[in-house]
Chain A
Amino acid sequence: MTAGSTPLWRYAAGRLAQAVPLLLGVVVVNFLLISLAPGDPVATLLGEYPAPPEYVAQLRREFGLDQPAPVRLALYAWNVARGELGFSFAYRLPVAALVVGRLGNTFLLMVTALTLAALVGVGLGVTAARRRGSGLDTAATGISLAGYSIPDFWLSQLLVLLFAVFLGWLPAQGIRSVREQYTGMAAVLDVARHLILPAAALSFRYMALISRLTRASMLEAMSQDFILAARARGLPERLVLLQHGLRNAALPVVTVIGYNFAFVLAGSALVETVFGWPGVGRLLYDAILQRDTPVLLGVLLMVSATVVVVNLLTDLLYAALDPRVRY
């Protein structure tokens, strides 16, 4: 397949081109919203004592806050077009470096959480569908209900209490130990230990969602004629279930994972704050409190771009899973 001329390539390029005005819209709307919100970044930065007025004025100039909002917006848009995301007020560092550094940690958390949610959710859903009406089905429904209802920041704190405080099995805070200086494999395992609780907390809600959806899709798929045909051909039940049932039931599940990516990212802000996980969600949360506009816009822009790409990948995966779908 030569990538240059396939319709799929053209479809993907078209979708990406559509993303440009979307991202521009994200920048403009967010910039305006932030400009309208009360709160002065300089005042929140300089401690609890009155800062010298000359210094405050100097900082306002440096941050460009002495310019009217339309001028600042135009300047910002021009910089973004040149690939410049600006300078953080609160960290006094380039935004791009700050965000990219944090994005990796967040992806680690999100991918782990979503994988966990998918594996457990699909497993639960398939089992529940297979044994419809059994105790196991009821239990799976109960777990899903809990997953929907429990706010993840509260669940996070419960997990900390149980596994870090009472049992002492897992660390309560951060992404790696600070006292010990691990290297190599020990460092990887150290991060993995720190990852378990926040990933579990973040995944719970999506696990519930995926298990419900898998159960429903499976029940529908399993009642189709092709399943009857497969069984009639004498295929073993495991194959019927996984190759014919699950493959057809998987479509809505893939959609849910793909399109919930943005929500997982949003949910990670709270989970990251509870676990002291140095991710982009927490960066966003801190930036809101500190009115750190460049960081806020930079994070929103990068997150929007990521969501666009993930949604595109979801669509492409859809095509791979369902031969009827063609772009």
Chain B
Amino acid sequence: MSTRIVAVLLVTLLATGIAAATPAEPQRGGSAVVAIGGDPETLNLGITTGYAVGAVAASIFSGLVWIDARGEIQPGLATSWTTSPDGLIYAFELRRGVKWHDGRAFSAQDVKFTMEQVTGLYHGRFRPAYLNFESITVTSPQSLKITLKRPYAPLLRLLTVFDCPILPRHVYQGEDITRHSRNNDPVGTGPFKFREWVRGDRLVLERNDAYWDPVYLDRLIFRIIPGAALRVTALEVGEVDMVADFYLPKTDVDRLKRNPNVRLRLGQPIPSMGFMFINARRAPLDNPKVRRALALAINRVQIVTQAMGNLARPARGPFGDGFKWAHSPESDYNRLYPYNVERANALLDEAGLPRGAGGERPVRLRMVYDAARAPIAASAAIIRDNLRAVGITVDLQPMDRAVMIERIYTRPDYELTVQTFTSGGDPAIGYHRIYASAAPGVPFVNATGYSNPEVDALLNRAAEVPERAARGKIYAQVSKILAADLPTLMLFDEIGVDAARATLRGVWIGAEARDRWDAVWVQK
């Protein structure tokens, strides 16, 4: 690199450093407007994993912990905790002086009630953790102890407001939790109180002055904007202040990068991946050789550059590279399945699928996907083109989400599909479901029909062992099997992008853009 380029880079770095460092004094007052795509189905975050619900309710409720921008666990309603050496007992000290929005005092009984009566029963991510619980003992109004039947490594990560929001026992006890009227008008301990919900238009929260940390914004407003492109427009004209990754169309990111009034956060601490389920119940996809041929024939780099606009990295293995400690170089896709049409052709010939007179092989596959998601549709089209080059015909079948869920998970009636899953902060929370044996009929789990007892056992162990080094070894073992069997071809690790108006400060303290709005303030 020439010295001039180095100098320019240094100056740029200094300038951004100074710009970020100077006006650091947060100002109180004003409001922030956040774009969401649709109405949340409820504001009771304890009974759903829906994204919009979390976007709004994460500011109304609190979790025992929160995850910071580096992916580290930080104290929330719990100020400290200890874990027994065998990983079976977790003891929590809770924050003192915390009040519910209706003025009642928060206590350990609320935590026990929430886990036993709400999130342990209804929450898609917390429920699997709760199945490992032996008991929850309230040791004092401000402390409690969780005893597990078997260790569960990602437990602490599942105590955030998104996975186990603490609900008020005095409101919900003895009542129908999923249909409670306060689900639309909730009482929490979070930095903002519920104020107004005009369906189809907006949700308004206002500052909770009794919150334990300073809260700067007077009001936090969620504006419902169904059109993806229009959300970006609203950000550009200043009608909204933030569009988080989940709601941001990636095609607009380049334009936003050039907008001086908008700041972006690229890359998220919580990995998520795009992948292709291969329905192994159907011939010839039941033959691992054919699945490996697909892996060799599909150009993951092309998908990343053309379908994902470079806002992704080509997948490196069965668990991606988002969790460095869980990635095994031995099972690296770049080594096993580099894009290689020749080898793919040879494998298909070997598998007894020779090309016919027209150059086509006797294989016709239906690619089913959610039509509303442009990057997924583009990935599917690239896969079709890639497979045509090795003589396989792919019929694209875009459909709306409800039908897609039925075709992939409920029935299942497809050969190929592109899906994306979030890890939830740990492979055991979000990625095990891609490979673990699953009965058909359940949405958002392994839909390939692949079932391998050895893989199941290894995944269970990986969830139980607390130390990362030891877990890494287990993931290396299971990755070796999964990379060879290839029930699912991982395509890319997503690089998330959140966009905010430059006047919005203190954003992105948390791993998720939905978290920690108490720290956010408006530069006047």
Establish whether residues A92 and B183, one from each chain, have CB atoms under 8 Å apart when the complex forms: yes
Looking at the assembled complex, report how far the CB atom of A149 sits from the nearest CB atom of chain B, in whole angstroms.
22
Task: Choose one: A44, A52, A178; the contact of B124 (CB below 8 Å).
Answer: A52
Asked if A164 is at the interface (CB within 8 A of a chain B CB), the reply is: yes
Asked if B409 is at the interface (CB within 8 A of a chain A CB), the reply is: yes
Asked if B330 is at the interface (CB within 8 A of a chain A CB), the reply is: no
Looking at the assembled complex, report how far the CB atom of B190 sits from the nearest CB atom of chain A, in whole angstroms.
20
Q: Which chain A residues border B169 with CB–CB below 8 Å?
A: none
Q: Which chain A residues border B401 with CB–CB below 8 Å?
A: 44, 289
Contact with A along B380-414 (1 / 0, CB 8 A): 00000000000000000000111101110110000
Establish whether residues A276 and B405, one from each chain, have CB atoms under 8 Å apart when the complex forms: no
Given A46-B48, A274-B227: A92 and B41 interface contact (C-beta under 8 Å): yes
Q: Which chain A residues border B20 with CB–CB below 8 Å?
A: none
- When A and B form their complex, what is the total count of cross-chain residue pairs whose Cβ atoms lie within 8 Å? 162
Residue on B nearest A273 in the bound complex, by CB: B226
Establish whether residues B237 and A164, one from each chain, have CB atoms under 8 Å apart when the complex forms: yes
Q: Which of B391-445 contact A (CB under 8 A)?
A: 400-403, 405-407, 409-410, 421-422, 424, 430, 433, 442-445
A50 to B126, CA, bound (A): 11
Asked if A138 is at the interface (CB within 8 A of a chain B CB), the reply is: no
Q: Which chain B residues border A164 with CB–CB below 8 Å?
A: 233, 237
In which size bucket is the chain B interface? 35 or more
A279 to B33, CA, bound (A): 21
Residue on A nearest B131 in the bound complex, by CB: A52
A283 to B421, CA, bound (A): 28
Looking at the assembled complex, report how far the CB atom of A216 sits from the nearest CB atom of chain B, in whole angstroms.
37
Q: Which chain B residues border A285 with CB–CB below 8 Å?
A: 226
Given A49-B444, A91-B39: A178 and B405 interface contact (C-beta under 8 Å): no
Q: Which chain A residues border B202 with CB–CB below 8 Å?
A: 174, 178
Q: Which chain B residues border A70 with CB–CB below 8 Å?
A: none
Contact with B along A39-56 (1 / 0, CB 8 A): 111011111111111110
In which size bucket is the chain A interface? 35 or more
Asked if B204 is at the interface (CB within 8 A of a chain A CB), the reply is: yes
Q: Which chain A residues border B223 with CB–CB below 8 Å?
A: 173-174, 178, 276
Asked if B221 is at the interface (CB within 8 A of a chain A CB), the reply is: yes
Task: Choose one: B236, B409, B422; the contact of A165 (CB below 8 Å).
Answer: B236
Asked if A38 is at the interface (CB within 8 A of a chain B CB), the reply is: yes
A299 to B61, CA, bound (A): 34
Asked if A282 is at the interface (CB within 8 A of a chain B CB), the reply is: yes
Asked if A160 is at the interface (CB within 8 A of a chain B CB), the reply is: yes
A54 to B123, CA, bound (A): 11
Q: Which of B122-159 contact A (CB under 8 A)?
A: 122-125, 127
Q: Which of A228-258 contact B (CB under 8 A)?
A: none
A171 to B223, CA, bound (A): 13
Establish whether residues A52 and B122, one from each chain, have CB atoms under 8 Å apart when the complex forms: yes
Establish whether residues A47 and B49, one from each chain, have CB atoms under 8 Å apart when the complex forms: yes
Establish whether residues A286 and B48, one from each chain, have CB atoms under 8 Å apart when the complex forms: no
Q: Which chain A residues border B225 with CB–CB below 8 Å?
A: 173-174, 276
Establish whether residues B124 and A43, one from each chain, have CB atoms under 8 Å apart when the complex forms: no
Asked if A119 is at the interface (CB within 8 A of a chain B CB), the reply is: no
Establish whether residues B41 and A90, one from each chain, have CB atoms under 8 Å apart when the complex forms: yes
Q: Which chain A residues border B230 with CB–CB below 8 Å?
A: 157, 160, 172-173, 274-276
A45 to B401, CA, bound (A): 11
Residue on A nearest B223 in the bound complex, by CB: A178
Asked if B184 is at the interface (CB within 8 A of a chain A CB), the reply is: yes
A41 to B41, CA, bound (A): 12
Some 21 contacts from A to B, beta carbons below 8 A apart, are A39-B402, A40-B410, A43-B409, A43-B410, A44-B405, A45-B50, A47-B124, A48-B49, A49-B444, A50-B124, A51-B443, A52-B121, A55-B122, A98-B199, A101-B199, A102-B199, A168-B237, A178-B204, A178-B221, A179-B31, A179-B221
